[in-house]
Chains A and B, each alone.
Chain A
Amino acid sequence: MSIAPPTYESFRVPEAATRSEDYLWTLNFGPQHPATHTTLRIVLKLEGERVVDALPEMGYLHSGFEKLGEHLTFNQYVTVTDRMNYISPMANNVGWHHAVETLLGIELTPRCKVIRTIIAELARISDHLLSNGAVGLDTGAFTFFLYGFYQREVIYDIFETLCGARFTNSYTRVGGLSDDATPLVIEKIRAFVKTFPKTLNDMERLLTRNRIFVDRTKGVGVLTKDEAIHRGATGPVARASGVTRDLRKDEPYLAYADYDFKVCCATAGDCYARYLVRMEELRESLRIVSQAIENIPAGPVNVGIDERTALPTKQQVYSTIEGTISHFELSMSNRGFEVPYEESYAATEAPNGELGFYLAGDGNDTAYRARCRPPSVLHFAMFPHLIRGHTLSDVVAVLGSLNIIAAELDR
């Protein structure tokens, strides 16, 4: 069915609609709806049960994160990044401080790089578990979702042991981490690496060849490779369409260059391909974690206190003169980091796409401009393209497979 995309006016003014459109239904989906999972709104135009067009609306959760970024220091703002993609806050923490350290020109210690890699991959696992679980949940597979959520609980437990917070971790700091990984954490991650494949196999057996699920997702919401690039898709959404782009391989940051893992791609570009890519990425992330956890380098986790970038520990502050000086230098309002009068962009491969931060420095401890490049915005913008011609029940499948998080969408 080829229908010219209607303008915004045709949604707002019914009189402007043409005669053939008189038979169309308008259905409001969201902003408060269990299947949107987050606060977003879609105005659907239906012909019977078929979606003729969709008009996505966002902004219900806009809280001015980018404006806040101009008023909070580099270390304070990490708490705000927790609240962007709240499914995987650790990945945002890593992304934010990766951008800050790129601007400041800080080279991390090997131990810090490896621990950040591990937590970023654990965050990816927990994110994919939930986004795939949500696709399952919306298409009627509740058990699958519960299996995934139980494993997320295990990862929350690891994060709690690591930094004291389960959900909003705020774990990274400029030039280091808030806490070092203790042997107990490493033991817990080892146990997770051992037990998780069994659950993963169970989950695959539950859903991957499930007739209902395959029928609901295969051929639904097809995104071709050219369209994916044209519309700025990144992450699993782009890889499911055959774009072999993974920043972990293409622009290896942290310690990713040291590990053996594959970039998971599919060519179909439908909801089922996106599900499969995420399932494969779970295994690859687990491979990275299992390689990294056995080879954590010894040594300090923070950049040395001489560099005056990472906050010293309390032990250092109270027992050494360098620690005391460094603490004051970083805490005093007229001192702080040496920020260049420059601008830089640094991106990480967050679980749902390329999460980048464009930072402008003006010699101050706070960014002059802290732009977050959220993958969700570009994915949500392509929603009408994906849903046109499908049925109303496919809306939730497509929406779930794009993994749109409204807090990251609106910032």
Chain B
Amino acid sequence: MPFTPPPVDDVLAALTDRFGGIESSVFRGQTRVIVPAEQAFEMLGVLKDHGFDLLVDVTCVDYLEYRDAPMQMPACAGHRYGLVYLLASTTTNQRLTVRVFVDDPEPTVPSVVSLWEAANWLEREVWDLFGIRFEGHPDLRRLVMPEEFTAHPLRKDYPLQGRGERHNFPVITRDHS
């Protein structure tokens, strides 16, 4: 039998009390909740107070080419970027996924670095690869791509082979280094 994580009903009830109707769904025992970008910071703060002390991951999915599929979460229909916050509790082992959907032209969400220091580099990576701006991030620089890079390569409209950037990188000679 595959392991199913502990239920998070108590947390969902608390969220519903605080924020009204919360859209949630379960797949393979994993509970996801959807939150509007303007409420994201507040809700993540509430979740942290409810025992989700470990921020496992912050990542993103670009739904540009996602075929019109019967998604279990209808709210993401029509949105381009879906941010994923994976939360876990080190005491109860509960897990919860928080989804935040944002759109072009200026995809922006509030940064959660003030809640979890772990978000610092994870948010930098999402900014680097998806171009999603995290408002209030102390040091939003590119993480894996070089500084002079202009594109955001994990977006679906960026080709696998690249756009020839590496041929145009400035070459540093020994005199200039």
Partners in one complex: yes
Report chain B residues within 8 Å CB of A251.
3, 5, 93
Binds A, one of B7-15, B33-41, B142-150, B168-176: B142-150
Chain A residues, CB < 8 A from B59: 358, 371, 373
Question: A59–B71 Cα gap in the complex (Å)?
Answer: 34
CA distance A253 to B28 in the complex (A): 14
0 or 1 for each of B108-133: is its CB under 8 Å from A? (1 = yes): 00000000111011100100010000
Q: Is B30 an interface residue (CB 8 A)?
A: yes
Besides A343-B61, A345-B97, A369-B62, 16 new A-B residue pairs in contact (Cβ under 8 A), listed by A number: A59-B144, A59-B146, A62-B144, A64-B160, A68-B160, A105-B28, A244-B90, A344-B28, A345-B56, A345-B57, A345-B95, A356-B86, A373-B56, A378-B122, A381-B121, A410-B144
Given the known A-B contacts A377-B125, A378-B118, are A358 and B93 also in contact in the complex, defined by CB atoms under 8 Å?
A: no
Complex contact B54–A229 (CB within 8 A): yes
CB-CB under 8 A from B125, the residues of chain A are 377
Residues from chain B with Cβ under 8 Å of A243 in the complex: 90
Say if the beta carbon of A109 comes within 8 Å of chain B.
Answer: no
Residues of B bordering A, CB below 8 Å: 2-3, 5, 27-28, 30, 32, 53-57, 59, 61-62, 66-67, 69-72, 84, 86, 90, 93, 95, 97, 116-118, 120-122, 125, 129, 139, 141-146, 153-154, 160
> What is the CB-to-nearest-CB distance from B163 to chain A, in angstroms, rounded to a whole number?
13
* Docked complex Cα distance between A342 and B145 (Å): 29
A142 smallest CB distance to B (angstroms): 33
* B118 near A7: Cβ-Cβ < 8 Å: no
Contacts of A373 in B (CB 8 A): 56-57, 59, 86
Contact A230 B57 (CB under 8 A): no
A368-B146 contact given A8-B141, A243-B90, A253-B3, CB 8 Å threshold: no
A232 contacts partner chain B, Cβ-Cβ < 8 Å: yes
Distance from B79 Cβ to chain A, minimum over Cβ atoms (Å): 14
Q: Is the CB of B3 within 8 A of A67?
A: no
Q: Does A102 contact B (CB under 8 A)?
A: yes
**Docked pose: A105 CA to B141 CA in angstroms:** 38
Give me the interface of A with B, judged by CB distance under 8 Å: 7-8, 58-59, 62, 64, 66-68, 70-71, 102-103, 105, 107, 227, 229-232, 243-245, 250-253, 257, 340-345, 347, 354, 356, 358, 360, 362-363, 368-369, 371, 373, 377-378, 380-382, 410-411
Q: Which of A58, A59, A342, A356 contacts B72 (CB 8 A)?
A: A342
Interface of B is mostly: loop
Residues on the A chain within 8 Å of B27, using CB: 340, 342-344
Question: Which of chain B's residues have a CB closer than 8 A to the CB of A369?
Answer: 61-62
Q: Chain B contacts of A368 at CB under 8 A?
A: 61, 66
Pick from A58, A343, A382: contact of B144, CB under 8 Å? A58
**Is A358 in contact with B53, judged by CB distance below 8 angstroms?**
no
How far is it, in angstroms, between the C-alpha of A105 and the C-alpha of B3 when the chains are bound? 12
A48 to B108, CA, bound (A): 43
Closest to B156 in A: A70
Number of A-B contacts defined by CB within 8 Å: 121
Listed A/B pairs (11) with beta-carbon separation below 8 Å = A71-B160, A230-B116, A232-B55, A232-B118, A232-B122, A253-B3, A342-B72, A343-B27, A345-B57, A358-B84, A369-B62
Q: Which of A58, A250, A340, A371 contacts B143 (CB 8 A)?
A: A58
Give bound CA distance, A7 to B141, whole Å.
12
**Bound-state Cα–Cα, A345 to B29, Å:** 10
Q: Which residue of B lies closest to A249 (CB)?
A: B93
Q: Which A residues are in CB contact (< 8 Å) with B117?
A: 227, 230-232, 381-382
B57 x A371 contact (CB < 8 A): yes
Beyond A232-B55, A243-B90, A377-B122, is A102–B2 a contact (Cβ under 8 Å)? yes
Neighbouring A residues of B97 by C-beta, 8 Å: 345
Do A59 and B145 have beta carbons less than 8 Å apart?
A: yes
Q: Which single residue of chain A is at the shortest CB-CB distance from B99?
A: A343
CB distance from B127 to the nearest CB of A (A): 13
Give B144 Cβ to nearest chain A Cβ, in Å: 4
Residues of A within 8 A of B121 (CB): 377-378, 380-381
Q: Are A345 and B30 in contact (CB under 8 A)?
A: yes
Instruction: Name the residue in A245, A343, A347 with the highest tally of chain B Cβ atoms < 10 Å from its Cβ.
Output: A343
Q: How far is the CA of A197 from the CA of B129 in the complex (A)?
A: 45
- Complexed CA–CA distance, A59 and B145 (Å): 6
- A252 to B, closest residue via Cβ: B3
What residue of chain A has the Cβ atom nearest to residue B62's Cβ?
A369
Query: For residue A55, which residue of chain B has the nearest CB?
Result: B139
Chain A nearest CB, measured from B26 CB (Å): 11
Chain B residue nearest to A345 (CB atoms) is B86
| A245, closest chain B residue (CB) | B90
A229-B90 contact given A59-B144, A356-B56, A378-B118, CB 8 Å threshold: yes
- Closest chain A CB from B55 CB (angstroms): 6
The 8 nearest A-B residue pairs measured at CB: A232-B118, A341-B69, A59-B144, A381-B121, A62-B144, A373-B57, A371-B59, A369-B61
Given A343-B61, A362-B67, A373-B86, decide whether A230 and B5 contact each other with a Cβ distance below 8 A: no
B56 touches A341 (CB 8 A): no
Q: How far is the CA of A58 from the CA of B125 in the complex (A)?
A: 11
Q: Quick check: A59 and B143 within 8 Å, CB to CB?
A: yes
**Bound complex: CA of A103 vs CA of B72, how far in Å?**
14
The CA-CA distance from A410 to B144 in the complex, in Å, is 6
The residue in chain B whose Cβ has the minimal distance to the Cβ of A361 is: B69
- The chain A residue with its CB closest to the CB of B90 is A245
Q: How far is the CA of A373 from the CA of B55 in the complex (A)?
A: 11
